[in-house]
Structure 1
Amino acid sequence: MSLQLPSEIVVERFLPTVRVLLARALDERGFTQQEIADRLGVTQAAVSRYVSGDADIEDRIADDPHTARTVETVADGFESGTLDEYEALAELSALVDELEDRGPICAIHEAEMPALAGLGCDLCVRGDDDRLRAEREVLADVRKAARLFARTEGTARVVPNVGTNVGTALPDATDHADVAAIPGRIYEMDGRVEVPANPEFGASRHVAGTVLAAAAVDSTVRAAINVRTDEALLDAARDRGFDPLRVDAGYEDRDSRLRERFREDGVRPVVYHEGAFGIEPITYVLGETAVDAVRRLGDLLPAAASDR
């Protein structure tokens, strides 16, 4: 893996692009090439290259609306005399912050360092703190679990029509935004399981609600995966001593009702409902991690298949 600091992206991609855009904007406003050079701290020859169209720019930065607004603000300020160099620098520094916060600088950084892809990295914004490490661990867990589910034999037949999702909560999770899952859900196509995207926080409601309800009663349970309710699968769970917990299918006050059931009957490894009008029957397999939940499901599938 090649290590590259975000600041390298700023120096090598952001700064040259913004200089070109500013030079062209000032040229359109009637500034001479020498005046532009003095403003930007470059040579007149460089400005000539910028405005002639010969200079390379980073399209992902140039096309971002934050970049366009900032370039216009700085150029207008220079033209009207309402913005000095210090204030222009402040505008550009704020733009860097915007583009680093899941913006094009972040995207370029992930492209240069593929190991960052899918981690939800916000190192530039928040730094390397304990919560960031926890978020990375949760995202990695969901990513591994989704891949394990996709390559486990027999999973395609238990993907419900609404799709499967797998989620893991942060240790101190309080709402759905603290649970990572797969955006768009995992789906079945032509007998194959397809994982459409890398995990993100806040990408699920029902799996996240189930996880949060379970974690509120048993803090060791922080993950779940949903599949189609299947009697053979439930029988396999009973044979393993899991005693699946049947819950109501209704959406109204769902999360609070789940928490109450877990308080009354305990958090069990397999939780299911039989559906209702407009609600597909769904089973949740729980675990300490998403990988644990998928492995538990994988252990049940061969027995469920033999019952058919």
Structure 2
Amino acid sequence: MTVQLPSEIVVERFLPTARSMLAAALAERGFAQREIASRLGVSQAAVSQYLAGERRGEERFAEHPRMQATIERIAEGFDAGTMDDYEALAELLELVRAFEDRGPICAIHEEEMPALEGMGCDLCVRGRDRAVQAEREVLSNVRRAVRQFANADIADHVPNVGTNVAMALPEATDETDVAAVPGRIHAMRGGINVPANPEFGASHHVATTLLAANVADPTVRGAVNLATSDALLAAVPDDADAVAFDAEYEDRRRRLDALFDDGVPRVVYHEGAFGIEPIAYVLGTSAVDAVEWATRLVDRIA
């Protein structure tokens, strides 16, 4: 695991880019290299390299309209004598804060620290809070569940449209509160292919079923879908109901809400319709719980 502070990105990528751009902007206004070096707090040799294009910096910063506007504003202020070093620093700090709030610094931070991927991280802006911790816990649970699913002998029960493993945040209200695998999980050559790490908002049908179940029973926060089959339904134990519903997509959420009024079963399924593959949804208290139940059902078939 790589732990990297966003301040490292500021020092190693943002600052050299800002200096390179500002050196060029000041040179265009007739500033001598010695003056530019004094303004930037670097050597004349460094300024020479900036102007020669040897230190171009990070393109995502250099090409960003807000970065370009800020550099132009500082250069113009220096040239006109209307901006001092303190005000220039304030401009750059404001830009850094903006870039740390879902901006290019945030994007680079995700690349350098994969643990942040898919989290919509705002740790730099708001600090550590319960909402972020809840998201981390859900994503971690889904990742663990996906690994268990991929290692199980379950490929024959993955539907043609693919499987998804999902988990909802506490008090989830819509699909963006449900973490799942973008692109779904597919069976390939007898094995399981997982195309990406889980993200929030990556599921529709599994999320719809899970959200309806969660409204009826807030302890139900995990789900996984399998291909409906007589063997799978027969494997559901007597103390864990399997309940059917209409496969049509239109008004599906409303019909699921009505179905769950009498309680949430362990398995809900449909037998398909024109253009709709038969699907069974295994529900659980978490993504891991749902996958464990799904694998137990498959093991009972064998």
For the aligned pair, the TM-score class normalised by the smaller chain equals: 0.7 to 0.9
* 1:131 counterpart = 2:131: yes
CA contact (8 A) 2:61 2:67 kept: no
Deviation by residue 1:131-178 (Cα, 9 ceiling, x = unmatched): 11111101111111111111111x211222221111111112111111
Counterpart CA distance in 2 for 1:98 and 1:230 is 52
Whole-Å separation in 2 of the counterparts to 1:191 and 1:99:
45
Query: Once the 2 structures are TM-superposed, how far is the Cα of residue 31 of structure 1 from its aligned partner?
Result: 3.8
Given that 1:164 and 1:186 are in contact with CA atoms closer than 8 Å, whether structure 2 keeps it comes out as yes
C-alpha RMSD of the superposition: 2.5
Contact in 2 for aligned 1:213/1:255 (Cα 8 Å): yes
Whether 2:47 is the aligned partner of 1:47: answer yes
User: What residue in structure 1 maps to residue 191 of structure 2?
Assistant: 192
SS of residue matched to 1:295: helix
For 2:128 and 2:244, the matched residues in 1 are separated by 42
Q: What is the distance in 2 between the residues matched to 1:197 and 1:82?
A: 52
Distance in 2, Cα, partners of 1:281 & 1:104: 43
Q: Which residue of 2 aligns with 1:19?
A: 19
Offset from partner CA, 1:51-97 (integer Å, 9 cap, x none): 112226344544xx43x542244225633749735564454334323
Give the equivalent residue in structure 2 for 1:250. Answer: 248
| TM-score normalised by length of structure 1 | 0.86
Aligned counterparts of 1:146 and 1:61: Cα–Cα separation in 2? 36
Q: TM-score, normalised by structure 2?
A: 0.88
Cross-structure match for 2:259: 261
Equivalenced residue count is 299
C-alpha contact (below 8 Å) 1:74/1:88 kept by paired residues = no
Aligned equivalents of 2:68, 2:229: Cα separation in 1: 58
Change (3 A) 1:32 1:230: farther
Equivalent residues in 2 for 1:114-263 (5 A)? 114-117=114-117, 119-153=119-153, 155-237=154-236, 239-263=237-261
Structure 2 residues not aligned, in runs of 5+: none
Query: Counterparts of 2:142 and 2:269 in 1: how far apart (Å)?
Result: 21
Q: In structure 2, how many angstroms separate the alpha carbons of the residues matched to 1:30 and 1:128?
A: 46
Q: Over residues 213-263 of structure 1, what are the superposed CA-to-partner deviations in whole Å (9 max), with x where a residue is unaligned?
A: 1111111101101121122111101x4532211011122222122111100
Q: Which moved more, 1:30-39 or 1:45-54?
A: 30-39
Q: What residue identity is the alignment partner of 1:129? A: D
Contact 2:70 2:92 in 1 (8 A): no
Per the alignment, in what secondary structure is the counterpart of residue 271 of structure 1? strand
